[in-house]
Chain A
Amino acid sequence: MSTVTAPSSASTSPTTRSMWRGGRGILLVGLLVLVTALVPVLLSSPGTEGRPLDPGDSSDVGAKALAQLLGGRGVSVERVDSVSALISAAGPDSQLLIGDTDFLSEADARRIAGSGQDRLIVGAVPHLDVLAGGLLVKEHVRTRSREPRCDLRAATGAGSAHLGGVSFTAPAGGAGCYPAAGHPTLVRYTTGGRTVTVVGDGAFMTNLRLAEDGNAALAMNLAGARPRLIWLVAPEQWDPTLAGPEGRSLGDLIPSGVSWAVVQLAVAVGVVALWRGRRLGPVVAERLPVVVRAAETVEGRGRLYRARRARDRAAPALRAAAIDRLAPRLGLPPTAAPDEVVAATAARTGLDAREVRATLYGAVPADDGGLVALAGYLDTLERQVRDS
């Protein structure tokens, strides 16, 4: 056909200038977003995150208010963040407060239990079976204002307080207060000559709740039972590495080259991603003509007939089609009356006229089986007319 040289080509790749021109708006908006996100972070004071039940924390979940109240009543509060410090600080006139201490290992719990001090355990701390032997956790209950309903002086003096969290089954000889569904949420009992007090939840001691109900009184009564209160809190930076017997963790045993090789492999993965991710030219889109089968409407009508079991529509359609095909073969006009068609068909095939009439102009079949049979009869009738 034709061989023509086309007009010359034109590059469509972006130049540095066009990229700068197109991208500077986006860059500016991105910078603005970054600045507006960073400014409040930089201006605000660090460490706003609350540390639950920390005597030095003044946020809602902290317990600085309680610590100050205790100090005002002549109870010295010593904040420690490790079990070793707790043991060494403990003296004969001290009580241990164990609150938000998820980091405790079982060995730590045994050391605390063996230290021979009074203990106030707040919340469902780990290794409760070691720290408060004989006590059984019953179930989780809602924290709300509850009545003491016991004869423990610390509780009756304070009256109602916010308690809940978990309920317990007190060991024999223990006192249980603030019951929820019959099980106490505060239990005080004596084991090994030491008083152990367990409360299901520490909410009543927090800065947020201390002023409500009898919370402050209860907290003072419980925490201020001894002149010194050794308060165990979670350490600022808790090192979860499980050190081996020689103090060397698994991480220490891996040569440092390996982790850096992993870093290098990550770089390699990045390079491979860049390699595979760069497409050779843009994706080509194409407007395609609509793809719709012409028979779709017929199929839809068939499904509708099927869904409604529309034999009263299907049977006349089949009969009309058969009659349309029969009439020319019988030499009849398309407008022939039923009687003529029946008579001509019966004469041609030798079938009984009533049978032919029932097939071509009969009643609507009563069920689907009847419809299938009718289709078969019509086919047979047409064949007989054709072959005769």
Chain B
Amino acid sequence: MALTGRAGLLAALGALLVLAAPDPPMAVLGVALLLAALVVIDLLFAGGVRGLRFHRDGERLVRLGESVTVGLVVENPGRRRVRGVVRDAWPPSAGSAPRHLRVDVPSGQRRRLVTTLTPTRRGDREAVTVTVRSLGPLGLAARQGSHVVPWSVRVLPPFLSRKHLPGKLARLRELDGRHPALVRGQGTEFDSLREYVVGDDVRSIDWRASARRSDVVVRTWRPERDRRVLIVLDTGRTSAGRVGVAPGVAPRVAPLPGQASGWPRLDWSMDAALLLAALASRAGDRVDFLAYDRTVRAWLSGASRTDLLSSLVNAMAPIEAELVEADSPGMVAAVLARAKRRCLVVLLTDVNAAAMEEGLLPVLPRLSSRHTVLVAAVADPRVAAMASGRGTAEQVYDAAAAERLRGERRRITARLRGQGVEVVDALPEDIAPALADAYLALKAAGRL
């Protein structure tokens, strides 16, 4: 049960009655009894809460930064009307609104209530409880009860870098030779012969074929196709660090001073991985996905080109960075076990000197001897800002610390390149296009 403000008001007004009454002690008793009687009557005549039935409908998936509506159907099989408020409780980061819903369901009828969710972070959000407070006819007291009405909404990565996709696809078409500008395809695989049209590069004329026919024929080239790209996401501790500014999603609560409002490296890496996957699938390559820290967190293989992206965001959505050191030998073993044929292994991790030297560097040759390896790391803009600090001694000391870190990154990068590994080290906003460019460059060079 629950009381309402009216009951409090009534009790306060009772004080006036007591003041005026000839026998105050009896008046206090009388007011208390009257109030109790009214509350009991109200509770007796309030609609039953326990018997209510609920159903949900609505969306199951939402991109981070967007809103969805989830419907809640309240069915009242009881004899009395249920009038009051309903709270459809969701975890705070589901961003549910409004907090309370007014409800008025006559006996035997049903009503649909709508809750809007605007999630503030990625992952699965489960509905918690539905609590109903059913007021009595006098509005003095209410019956209250909770129900569990299961529903979950999966919050997908926002794929912000899809704005870069048209530009990268245009470059891919350029490689392909299918560009409207009729540029000679830069691919390395012979595609077909076709008739010469004005504007074609004369160097691509196939004289032998032209001699056989009465027309001038050019060769067209296309980039290699049906290669394999394996995207490996490191979900260890280095991926938990927050960098940059969380894009799009405005924080509902202002972050505390000195507290991060940024996005974990993991999310930036996912964004880059999505752009790469979209690009590679359009380019005709097969994309597999592995998330690994000490065990396999997610494994996606053999998705068809049409539903690759949706499978990928679904696989990525529940992944969070684990606060453990990533097991690099295990990761390499997992990759080797899964990639039988030669493929491009894109490793999304952090170029962290301590973690790299002890973890990945010793075992990387096993991987790079069989596959083309591309390491992509998200750099921290805060470090760049610190490195340019000048003026006071404090800023210069910070700058020295930042330069030391950047020096270590450069050293690791140089060692990786020395092992024949491609490295992309870019700021959060640039990592996705930079990774796509690196992929296109590899493709153009025929190194896949």
Residue of A nearest to B127 (CB): A6
A6 to B151, CA, bound (A): 7
Q: Which of B129, B146, B320, B393 has the most CB of A within 10 A?
A: B393
Determine if B404 and A301 form an interchain contact, defined as CB atoms under 8 angstroms apart: yes
Tell me which residues across on chain B come within 8 A of A304, comparing CB atoms.
401
A379 CA to B265 CA, complexed, in Å = 30
**A54 CA to B16 CA in the complex, in Å?**
48
Q: Which of A8, A264, A379 contacts B53 (CB 8 A)?
A: A8
Contacts A1-B60, A6-B57, A6-B149; A264 near B323 (Cβ below 8 A): no
Residues of A within 8 A of B2 (CB): 274-275, 278
CB distance from A369 to the nearest CB of B (A): 8
- With a CB–CB cut-off of 8 A, which chain A residues contact B5? 272, 275
Set of chain A residues within 8 Å of B61, measured between Cβ atoms: 1-2
Q: Mark B36-53, 1 if CB is under 8 A from A, else 0.
A: 000000000000011011
Name the A residues within 8 Å of B92 (CB-CB). 284, 286
Contact B146 A281 (CB under 8 A): yes
Interface residues of A in 323-357 (CB under 8 A from B): 324, 334
Centre residue among A4, A257, A265, A314 by max chain B CB count within 10 A: A257
Whether B260 and A293, one on each chain, are in contact in the complex, defined by CB atoms closer than 8 angstroms, is yes
Query: Is A294 a contact partner of B242 (Cβ separation < 8 A)?
Result: yes
Contacting residues, chain A, for B27 (C-beta < 8 A): 260, 264
Contact flags B239-250 to A (C-beta < 8 A → 1, else 0): 011110000000
Chain A residues with CB under 8 Å of B387's CB are: 321
Docked complex: B376-403 residues within 8 A CB-CB of A: 380, 382-383, 386-387, 390-394, 396-403
Asked whether, in the complex, the Cβ of B89 is within 8 Å of the Cβ of A284, the reply is yes
User: 8 Å CB contacts to B: which residues of A276-299?
Assistant: 278, 280-282, 284, 286, 288-299
**CB neighbours of A265 from chain B (8 A):** 12, 15
- In this assembly, does A243 line the interface, its C-beta being within 8 Å of a C-beta of chain B? no
Residues of B close to A296: CB separation below 8 A: 241
| Residue of B50, B121, B147 with most chain A CB atoms under a 10 A cut-off | B147
Q: Which residue of B lies closest to A297 (CB)?
A: B405
A317-B401 contact, Cβ under 8 Å, with A257-B24, A375-B390 = yes
Q: Does A320 contact B (CB under 8 A)?
A: yes
A373 to chain B, nearest CB (A): 10
Q: Report the Cα distance A41→B277, complex, angstroms.
A: 80
CA distance A297 to B260 in the complex (A): 14
The verdict on B78 contacting chain A, using a C-beta distance below 8 Å, is no
* Given A1-B61, A289-B121, A295-B383: A302 and B15 interface contact (C-beta under 8 Å): no
8 Å CB contact of B89 from A281, A306, A376: A281
B205 at the interface (CB under 8 A from A): no
Task: State which of B190-198, B214-222, B356-364, B406-414 sits at the interface with chain A.
Answer: B406-414
| Interface stretch of the complex, out of A9-17, A78-86, A128-136, A148-156 | A9-17
Q: Does chain A have a CB within 8 A of B107? A: no
- Asked whether B116 is an interface residue with its Cβ less than 8 Å from the other chain, the reply is no
- What is the minimal beta-carbon distance from A46 to any residue of chain B, in angstroms? 29
Q: For residue B260, which residues in chain A have a CB less than 8 angstroms away from its CB? A: 291-293
> B160 on the interface (CB 8 Å rule)?
no
Cβ-based interface call for B130 (8 A): yes
Cα separation A110 to B403 with both chains bound (whole Å): 89
Interface size on B, residues (CB 8 A): 95
Q: Tell me if B438 is interfacial: C-beta within 8 Å of chain A.
A: no
A304 CA to B397 CA in the complex, in Å?
9
Contacting pair A368 B57 (CB below 8 A): no
Does B147 contact A12, Cβ atoms closer than 8 Å? yes
B335 interface residue (CB < 8 Å to A): no
* Complex-state Cα separation, A232 to B397, whole angstroms: 81
Q: Is B264 an interface residue (CB 8 A)?
A: yes
Q: Which residue of chain B is the closest to A10 with respect to CB atoms? A: B148
Q: What residues of chain B lie closer than 8 Å to A317, measured between beta carbons?
A: 400-401, 403-404, 407
Most chain A CB inside 10 Å of its own CB: which residue of B59, B262, B401: B401
Interface string of B51-69 (1 = CB under 8 A from A): 0111111111100000000
> Are A375 and B399 closer than 8 Å at their CB atoms?
yes
What secondary structure prevails in chain B residues at the interface with A?
mixed
Judge whether A263 is part of the interface by a CB distance below 8 angstroms.
yes
Q: What 0/1 readout, one digit per residue, does chain B (399-441) give for beta carbons within 8 Å of chain A?
A: 1111111110010001000000000000000000000000000
- Given the interface contacts A257-B24, A334-B414, A376-B390, does A306 sit within 8 Å of B242 by beta carbon? no
With A280-B87, A318-B400 as contacts: A8 and B145 at CB distance below 8 Å: no
B interface footprint on A244-288 (CB within 8 Å = 1, 0 otherwise): 000000000000111111111101101110110010111010101
B19 within 8 A of A: yes
Contact B404 A3 (CB under 8 A): no
CB distance from A156 to the nearest CB of B (A): 65
Report the separation of the CA atoms of residues A6 and B12 in the bound assembly, to the nearest whole angstrom. 46
- List the B side residues contacting A77 at CB < 8 Å: none
Is the CB–CB distance between B15 and A268 below 8 Å?
Answer: yes
Q: A264-B15, A302-B386, A372-B391 are in contact. Are A295 and B89 (CB under 8 A)?
A: no
Pick from A256, A267, A272, A314: contact of B396, CB under 8 Å? A314
User: Which residues of the other chain, A, contact B8 by a CB distance below 8 angstroms?
Assistant: 268, 271-272, 275
Q: A5 to B149: give the CA distance in the assembly, Å.
A: 11
The yes or no answer to A313 lying at the interface (CB within 8 A) is yes
Is A305 an interface residue, CB under 8 A from the partner?
A: yes
Q: Which residues of B contact A271 (CB under 8 A)?
A: 3, 7-8, 10-11, 35
- Residue in A292, A297, A310, A372 whose CB lies within 8 Å of B390: A372
Measured CA separation A324–B85 after assembly (Å): 66
Nearest A-chain residue to B74, judged by Cβ: A9
- Interface check A137, CB cutoff 8 A: no
Q: Is A7 an interface residue (CB 8 A)?
A: yes
The docked-state distance in angstroms from the alpha carbon of A267 to that of B14 is: 10
| Residue A371 lies at the interface, judged by CB distance under 8 Å to chain B | yes
Q: State A258–B28 Cα separation when bound (angstroms).
A: 11
Q: Judging by beta carbons under 8 Å apart, are A302 and B402 in contact?
A: yes
Please tell me which one of the listed residues A11, A257, A295, A298 contacts residue B146 in the complex, with CB atoms under 8 A apart. A11
Determine how close the nearest CB of chain A comes to the CB of B1; give it in whole angstroms. 8
B19 touching A258, Cβ below 8 Å: yes
Q: A318 touches which one: B49, B93, B121, B403 (CB < 8 A)?
A: B403
Q: Contact: B11 with A268, CB < 8 Å?
A: yes
B180 at the interface (CB under 8 A from A): no
Q: Does A170 contact B (CB under 8 A)?
A: no
A379 to chain B, nearest CB (A): 7
Bound CA–CA A375/B387 (angstroms) = 11
Could you jot down 20 A-B contacts, CB within 8 Å? Answer: A2-B59, A2-B61, A11-B49, A13-B144, A257-B21, A258-B19, A261-B18, A264-B14, A267-B31, A280-B133, A298-B398, A302-B386, A302-B400, A305-B397, A313-B404, A314-B397, A317-B401, A317-B407, A371-B397, A372-B392
Residues on B lying within 8 angstroms of A by beta carbon are 2-5, 7-8, 10-12, 14-21, 24-25, 27-28, 31-32, 35, 49-50, 52-61, 85, 87, 89-93, 100, 121, 128-131, 133, 144-151, 240-243, 259-260, 262, 264-265, 320-321, 323, 350, 380, 382-383, 386-387, 390-394, 396-407, 410, 414
Closest 3 CB pairs of A and B: A294-B241, A281-B131, A260-B24
Extra contacts, 12 of them, besides A11-B50, A305-B400 (Cβ < 8 A), are A7-B150, A261-B24, A264-B11, A268-B8, A280-B144, A286-B91, A293-B260, A295-B380, A295-B382, A298-B401, A317-B400, A375-B390
